């Protein structure tokens, strides 16, 4: 296998043939894939959320399935169902669309809470239980869920327990004018996703995920992560701060980002770069502070400013 950073860079460059001008956002999504996390993509329609998932799946040679979440969607429509086979005289399990290496949950907040909760076991334990039988998810396995932040009619907001299952949240945003013109040029005779080539395979992705676990994290950096997450809990504008799962997410994402950067150790700058996408959706602002316009991202920013970085020297006059 090539150097892990080289393989990750090949995937990144390949996906950028389809998704233009979103290098940082693509890097964050790839970070989640390498540390076996899931991504919540929150943005307006038409910004390339589903195309991002398809590009990653095609570049890595992974299977891809898209699930359109609607109010009438049932949990069995996602996980699968057991059907009686008259020939064998037994029930056979037919897996649902969730059994894909790259699964897109499109407009996840359109489905009912019961259907949303069907994802929890698969995302956290990488298995699904149907009729008392447990079925393992394929490897690698990543859920890319999309939701529209401006359409609130007919939606069911994700509860805190489910938001906490996502490693990080990404916002793609609109492309700049130059990239939007370039997008028109590339799609004049067809979509570039049609000619996108595979640059790695599922086996190499799994090997990368295992290599991420060997990235060294200094005890001081671990303490910095814990202090940062604890600061979100103690912030005066916070109703609910980051959970221990948030600390683990920041720890694992830091390892993946370090490997993407060609290092075998995590530095505090990795933690600082990941704090907003990892902790932003885990922090719940108190009602009184929300009225004043305080956002979760602002709370994370203030916590970053308050918590001392390990290794930094105090200035002397």
Distance, in Å, from the CA atom of 213 to the CA atom of 124, rounded to the nearest integer, reads 17
CA distance to 159, 179, 209, per residue, from 147 (Å) = 13, 24, 27
Residues of the chain with CATH 3.40.50.300: 4-210
Burial grade of 97 (CB within 10 A; 0-12, 13-18, 19 or more): middle
Q: What is the DSSP letter of 215?
A: S
Give Cβ neighbours of residue 169 (< 8 Å, ≥ 6 apart). 39, 40, 41, 42, 277, 280, 281
Query: Spelled out in words, what is the top-level CATH class assigned to the domain 214-306?
Result: mainly alpha
Burial grade of 9 (CB within 10 A; 0-12, 13-18, 19 or more): middle
- The model's pLDDT over 209-249, given as tens digits with 9 standing for 90+, comes to 999 999 999 999 999 999 999 999 999 999 999 999 999 99
**pLDDT the model gives residue 48:** 81
**pLDDT the model gives residue 282:** 92
DSSP E strands in 171-283: the ranges are: 238-240
DSSP secondary structure string, 148-186? -SS--TT--PPPHHHHTTSSEEE---PPPHHHHHHHHHH
Token couple for 281 = 């959706």
Query: Spelled out in words, what is the top-level CATH class assigned to the domain 4-210?
Result: alpha beta
Give Cβ neighbours of residue 254 (< 8 Å, ≥ 6 apart). 217, 221, 225, 266, 270, 271, 274
Residue 218 CB-half CA count within 13 A: 13
**pLDDT the model gives residue 110:** 85
Residues of the chain with CATH 1.10.8.80: 214-306
38-63-201 Cα angle (round to 5): 90
**pLDDT the model gives residue 109:** 85
CA distance to 148, 182, 220, 227, 300, per residue, from 138 (Å) = 28, 36, 36, 35, 34
Say if CB 279 and CB 232 are below 8 A apart: yes
- The model's pLDDT over 280-302, given as tens digits with 9 standing for 90+, comes to 999 999 999 999 999 999 999 99
Token couple for 107 = 């407009």
**Mean pLDDT for each consecutive 10-residue tract of the chain (317 residues)?**
78 89 90 92 80 88 90 89 83 88 88 84 87 88 82 70 89 87 85 86 90 93 95 93 93 94 92 95 92 92 93 48
> Is this prediction's pTM over 0.75?
yes
Say if CB 94 and CB 136 are below 8 A apart: no
């Amino acid at each position: 296998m090539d150097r892990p950073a080289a393989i990750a860079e090949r995937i990144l460059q390949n996906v950028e043939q389809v998704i233009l001008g979103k290098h940082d956002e693509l890097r964050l999504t790839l970070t989640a894939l390498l540390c076996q996390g899931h991504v919540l993509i929150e943005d307006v329609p038409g910004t390339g959320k589903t195309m991002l998932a398809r590009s990653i799946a095609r570049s890595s040679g992974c299977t891809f399935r898209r699930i359109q979440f609607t109010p009438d969607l049932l949990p069995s429509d996602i996980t699968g169902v057991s059907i009686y086979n008259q020939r064998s005289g037994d029930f056979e399990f037919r897996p649902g669309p969730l059994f894909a290496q790259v699964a897109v949950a499109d407009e996840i907040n359109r489905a009912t809470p019961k259907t949303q909760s069907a994802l929890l076991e698969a995302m956290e334990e990488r298995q699904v239980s149907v009729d008392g039988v447990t079925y393992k998810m394929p490897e690698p396995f990543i859920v890319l869920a999309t939701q529209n932040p401006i359409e609130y009619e007919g939606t069911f907001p994700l509860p805190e327990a489910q938001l906490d299952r996502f490693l990080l949240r990404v916002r793609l945003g609109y492309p700049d004018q130059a990239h939007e013109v370039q997008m028109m040029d590339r799609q004049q005779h067809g979509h570039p996703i049609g000619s996108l080539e595979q640059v790695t395979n599922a086996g190499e992705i799994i090997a990368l995920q295992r290599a991420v676990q060997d990235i060294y994290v200094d005890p001081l950096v671990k303490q910095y992560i814990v202090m940062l997450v604890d600061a979100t809990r103690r912030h005066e504008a916070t109703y609910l701060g980051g959970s221990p799962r948030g600390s683990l997410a920041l720890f694992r994402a830091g390892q993946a980002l370090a490997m993407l950067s060609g290092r075998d150790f995590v530095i505090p700058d990795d933690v600082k770069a990941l704090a907003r996408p990892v902790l932003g959706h885990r922090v719940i602002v108190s009602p009184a502070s929300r009225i004043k316009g305080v956002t979760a991202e602002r709370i994370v920013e203030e916590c970053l400013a308050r918590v001392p970085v390990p290794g930094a020297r105090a200035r002397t006059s």
